[in-house]
A = this chain, B = another copy of it.
């Protein structure tokens, strides 16, 4: 948190993330276009590790993720499975393309609480991963983009 009255450190846009139907195909397209190595995708953990909750209910949803470094920003590709998730929701309703902007934060519960209470931005999905946890916040009405919060224990 900065000294100002905002919620997030605005200097840390960590990721710009896209949902796609075929992560291998889109990864190859990025690699060809930018002249980089094709990133290897990684499957998110199973539910016993993620404890994922989507719109108030536990979900077994998993996704293939691939990351590409573009300076200080990472472009993330997400290919969700067919269990309910905010990834699958966007892909079904809006098609392939932009999904969210991610910020690294510390103090997940405080920040999600503040976003909900002060800004009326509800938490739509959350889960654990090795070394940290994430939350998606429905900031679409005011900010026109979905925000992901990332809290890493060793950051």
Q: Interface of A with B (CB < 8 Å)? A: 2, 4-8, 10-13, 16, 18, 20, 26, 29-30, 32-36, 68-73, 75, 94, 96-98, 101, 119, 139-140, 142-145
Contact = CB atoms under 8 A, between A and B. Distances in A.
A6 to B, nearest CB: 3
Indicate the member of A5, A10, A32 with the most B CB atoms within 10 Å.
Answer: A10
A70 B10 contact: yes
A151 to B, nearest CB: 18
28 contacts: A4-B35, A6-B32, A6-B33, A6-B35, A6-B36, A7-B33, A7-B34, A10-B36, A10-B68, A10-B69, A10-B71, A11-B70, A13-B75, A16-B16, A16-B101, A18-B144, A18-B145, A20-B144, A29-B143, A33-B139, A33-B143, A72-B72, A73-B73, A97-B98, A97-B140, A97-B145, A98-B98, A98-B145
Given A6-B34, A36-B6, A71 B144 contact: no
Contacts of A34: 4, 6-8, 10
A43 B8 CA distance: 29
Nearest to A147: B33
A68 to B, nearest CB: 8
Contacts of A29: 142-143
A134 to B, nearest CB: 19
